[in-house]
């Protein structure tokens, strides 16, 4: 049976979903891509810090190329669990297969009872923080808001938490320099706050800023900063050395501080706002766990707390969960438990929100990410993405074998699917002209507002 008789739904049009759709479409499969946002770019647009202009534009162009394949039907602004019921889609629509590439947009909760009632009142989670940071310059922005304050706390330890620290420090320094009559901008500061200050004959101490502090529960060498192989003592030692270099390099360039072996255990509240956290020192066990040391509690006052301890998939009615991730059948095909034609890929599979993880469909060992943070070389991160796409392609081969064994939908079922899809497109005002839709809804860029040109 030719693949052209099959119709596959892909939920999520970003890095993983676009690659999956393109791989299927080039094999003759008709693919319907449902995207929860108006734009399909996911964390490339909303999670990758906006100073990565060239990388963002390059990867978004690659997504556009994949989603404009003749065999791909794009449906924007339709979210699974909000606009469509999962079980209805899975059991009644008649798709040959359904691929969930919906990412990991839910922040892992800060493990302090009652702390979430202070979201927006001194507490911000990383996904909302970075979304706000990326879009706050837009004239009509009406999303989540966050007020950057000197002396902020960031709880985390991974690359995303370093990006949060960079965003905070660049914002603080830009504002303080403006008070001195010195105009700079994000794209200059990204090359290094140290360089900008040196050019103006200033030291960081001259700005009288406290800066932000990153609190991490383990040691520097334990930070998940590089996806390197650590299967032997020699490789582990090499990875630990690179982790130290990555963090030290970032601290020297952006002047944030790090408090190691600290875990938050309680909240500080004042005037109905989160006013900081109580931390315990930790001790590392032989099994690698970081255990709080009784009696080591210390309060840390802060006007802002950003929690960056990881991202997990959203809970969607009808999708079985196992802990904080989707429950899969114990095989190598990422099949959702209870559904022989539903598969999970990307961040929804890994339970990670990191952009580079989203294309891996597993674990790709690459020192390119470490080199990127050490050398500011965006080509390295692009190379990691390319290798990751190859991994997705191999994973989809297994999924295609499963699809090939299934009976494709008959003509009447295919017609019903396409009629429902067209109705959804009409519902959101999408006329099928992908390029024009993208241009109408693409947000204004900060570099455009600043009059900067990036070749």
User: Mean pLDDT throughout 223-227?
Assistant: 76
Which position has the higher pLDDT, 435 or 382?
Answer: 435
| pLDDT tens-place string over residues 316-367 | 999 999 998 999 987 667 899 999 999 998 877 655 555 444 444 323 323 3
* DSSP letters spanning 39-59: SS-THHHHTS-TT-HHHHHHH
Q: Helices 368-375 and 233-254, interaxial angle, to 10°?
A: 30
- Average pLDDT value for residue range 395-415: 88
Say what the pLDDT of residue 226 is. 66
pLDDT at residue 366 in the model: 32
pLDDT of residue 348: 73
Sheet containing 72-75: order of strands: 72-75, 30-34, 7-11, 97-100, 342-344
Name the helix (H) or strand (E) containing 34.
strand 30-34
Half-sphere exposure of 242 (CA within 13 A, CB side): 23
Q: What are phi and psi of 328, to 5 degrees?
A: -110, 155
State how far the Cα of 379 lies from the Cα of 388, in Å rounded to an integer.
14
CA geometry: angle at 207 spanning 206 and 209, to 5°? 120
CATH code of 3-106+312-449, in short, is 3.40.50.720
State yes or no: pLDDT of 67 exceeds 80. Answer: yes
Look at residue 151 and give its three-state secondary structure.
coil
Kind plus residue range of the DSSP H or E element containing 21:
helix 15-25
Flag whether pLDDT at 389 surpasses 80.
no
Angle at 171 between CA 167 and CA 173, to 5 degrees: 120
Q: What is the pTM of this model?
A: 0.90
Is 398's pLDDT higher than 70?
yes
For residue 441, the model assigns a pLDDT of 97
Contact (CB, 8 A) for 173 and 207: yes
Cα–Cα distance for residue pair 12/288, rounded to 1 Å: 35
At residue 401 the predicted structure's pLDDT band, cuts being 50, 70 and 90, is: confident
- 223 versus 132: which is more confidently predicted? 132
Assigned CATH class of 109-309: alpha beta
- Section 256-264 average pLDDT: 97
SS3 call for 337: coil
Q: Given this model, what pLDDT does residue 365 score? A: 29
- Mean pLDDT confidence for 37-48: 94
Q: Where are the domains of the chain?
A: 3-106+312-449, 109-309
Share of the chain above pLDDT 90, in %: 72
Q: Answer yes or no: are the C-beta atoms of 63 and 379 closer than 8 Å.
A: no
Q: For residue range 106-159, list pLDDT tens digits in order.
A: 999 999 999 999 999 999 999 999 999 999 999 999 999 999 999 999 999 988
Cα 331 from Cα 366, distance rounded (Å): 25
Residue 298, φ and ψ in degrees, nearest 5 = -145, 135
Share of the chain above pLDDT 70, in %: 87
Residue 400 has a pLDDT of 83
* pLDDT, mean over the chain: 89
User: Which tokens hold the place of 446?
Assistant: 């900060």
Least confident of 72-86, 132-146, 296-310, 366-380: 366-380
- Among 73-82, 99-108, 227-236, 280-289, the minimum mean pLDDT is found in 227-236
pLDDT at residue 332, as a whole number: 62
Query: What pLDDT sits at residue 378?
Result: 57
> Tokens 């408090």 correspond to what residue?
259
What confidence tens digit (pLDDT) does each residue in 415-432 have? 999 999 999 999 999 999
């Amino acid at each position: 049976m030719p693949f052209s008789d099959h119709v596959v739904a892909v939920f999520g049009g970003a890095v993983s979903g676009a690659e999956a759709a393109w791989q299927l479409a080039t094999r003759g499969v008709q693919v319907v891509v449902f995207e929860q946002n108006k734009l399909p770019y996911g964390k490339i647009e909303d999670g990758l810090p906006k100073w990565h202009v060239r990388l963002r534009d390059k990867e978004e162009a690659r997504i556009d190329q994949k989603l404009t394949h003749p065999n791909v039907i794009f449906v924007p602004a339709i979210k699974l669990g909000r606009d469509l019921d999962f079980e209805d889609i899975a059991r009644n629509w008649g798709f040959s297969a359904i691929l969930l590439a919906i990412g990991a947009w839910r922040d892992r909760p800060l493990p302090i009872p009652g702390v979430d009632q202070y979201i927006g009142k001194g507490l911000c989670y990383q996904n909302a923080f970075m979304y706000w940071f990326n879009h706050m310059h837009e004239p009509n922005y009406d999303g989540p808001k966050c007020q950057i304050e000197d002396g902020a706390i960031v709880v985390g330890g991974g690359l995303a938490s370093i990006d949060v620290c960079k965003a905070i420090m660049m914002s603080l320094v830009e504002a303080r320099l403006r008070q001195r009559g010195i105009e700079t901008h994000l794209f200059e500061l990204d090359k290094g706050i140290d360089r900008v200050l040196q050019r103006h004959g200033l030291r960081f101490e001259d700005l009288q800023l406290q800066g932000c502090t990153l609190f991490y529960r383990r040691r520097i060498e334990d930070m998940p900063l590089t996806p390197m192989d650590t299967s032997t003592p020699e490789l582990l030692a090499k990875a630990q050395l690179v982790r130290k270099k990555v963090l030290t390099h970032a601290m020297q360039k952006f002047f944030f501080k790090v408090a190691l072996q600290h875990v938050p255990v309680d909240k500080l509240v004042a005037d109905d706002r989160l006013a900081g956290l109580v931390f315990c020192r930790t001790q590392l066990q032989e099994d690698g766990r970081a255990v709080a040391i009784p009696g080591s509690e210390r309060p840390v006052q802060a006007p802002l707390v950003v929690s960056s301890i990881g991202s997990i998939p959203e809970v969607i009615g009808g999708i079985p969960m196992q802990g904080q991730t989707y429950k899969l059948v114990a095989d190598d095909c990422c099949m959702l438990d209870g559904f022989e034609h539903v598969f999970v890929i990307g961040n929804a599979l890994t339970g990670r929100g990191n952009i580079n993880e989203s294309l891996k469909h597993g674990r790709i060992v690459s020192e390119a990410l470490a080199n990127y943070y050490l050398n500011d070389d965006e080509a390295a991160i692009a190379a990691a993405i390319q290798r990751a796409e190859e991994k997705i392609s191999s994973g989809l081969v297994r999924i295609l074998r499963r699809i090939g064994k299934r009976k494709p939908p008959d003509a009447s079922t295919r017609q019903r699917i396409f009629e429902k899809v067209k109705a959804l497109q009409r519902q959101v005002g999408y006329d099928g002209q992908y390029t024009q839709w993208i241009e109408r809804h693409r947000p204004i860029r900060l570099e455009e507002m600043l009059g900067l040109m990036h070749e």
